[in-house]
Amino acid sequence: MSIPGYVDYKRREFCKDVKCPVQLELETKKEGSKEYEKIRNTCKNACKYTTYQFHHWLTDKGYLIVRPEK
């Protein structure tokens, strides 16, 4: 759900901006191929970056982390 007047984070925006070597390799493969899925598995299970780095990147880029009230 988007907030009017704001943009949502796009998939792998962080990875592309920091020029993650895994992301760069992933971009050379066809999405859905065996090679692509093997490389993507690295992202899912052994990311080269920490949540701390990702969080600070988000705030440095002006992203807001929000959730609806209960």
pLDDT value of position 1: 72
Flag whether 27 is in a domain.
yes
Task: Work out the number of other CB atoms within 10 angstroms of the CB of residue 12.
Answer: 13
Domain span at 17: 13-60
CA angle 41, 45, 50 (to 5 degrees): 125
User: Do 48 and 20 contact (CB within 8 A), yes or no?
Assistant: yes
pLDDT tens per residue, range 18-59: 999 999 999 999 999 999 999 999 999 999 999 999 999 999
Asked whether residue 3 is assigned to any structural domain, the reply reads no
Instruction: Indicate the pLDDT class of residue 2, thresholds 50, 70 and 90.
Output: confident
Written as one letter, the residue type at 34 is K
Is 65 inside a domain boundary? no
Token pair of 69 as six digits: 């009230």
Compare 61 and 70 and report the one with higher pLDDT: 61
User: What's the rounded Cα separation, in Å, for the pair 43 and 24?
Assistant: 12
Check residue 57 and give its pLDDT.
98
Domain count, the chain: 1
| Predicted pLDDT at 70 | 85
